[in-house]
Amino acid sequence: MVDISELNLGKFDMVTALNSIYYLDDQAIQDLVTHLSSITPVVTFQCNVETKINRSDTHTFTKASIEYAKQTFANCGFPRIMACAPSGYNRHVVIGYVGETIPES
C-alpha cells in the first residue's frame, strides 16, 4: 500500500481498502490518500470500530474509526464524504469522492 505511488498503475474508477489502511502510520496514510486523489475519483475504506480486539498500538483504534477516515479524506483531496454505518455492525464503510456530487446509492 505504501508503495502504490511508485508503481505507476494509471487511473482507476474506484479504489477500495478493506480493513487495512489503519495499520499504516499516520503520515503514510496521509501520503497514500493524497496520492489516491490523483488517480481515482472514489475511495472506499472499511473501518473497524470493534473495541474488543487486541491491538498492540492503541492508536490503531483511532485510525480505524469513521471520524479518522472522514478527516483524512477531507484533508487529502476527497471533499465529498459519505459513511455507511449500520447499527450493530462494526466494520463501517467510508467513501470519499472527488467530484461535485456524491453518486446516488
pLDDT recorded at residue 52:
85
Mean pLDDT computed over 6-20: 92
8 A C-beta contact, residue 98 and residue 41:
yes
pLDDT(102) > 70: no
Tens digit of pLDDT for each residue in 70-81? 999 999 999 999
pLDDT recorded at residue 100:
67
Q: What gap in Å lies between CA 21 and CA 40, rounded to an integer?
A: 16
Mean pLDDT computed over 45-63: 89
Which run of H or E residues covers position 49?
none
Q: Which of 57-61, 90-94, 97-101 has the lowest mean pLDDT?
A: 97-101
Domains of the chain: 10-97 (3.40.50.150)
What is the amino acid identity at position 16? T
Task: Indicate the pTM of the whole model.
Answer: 0.87
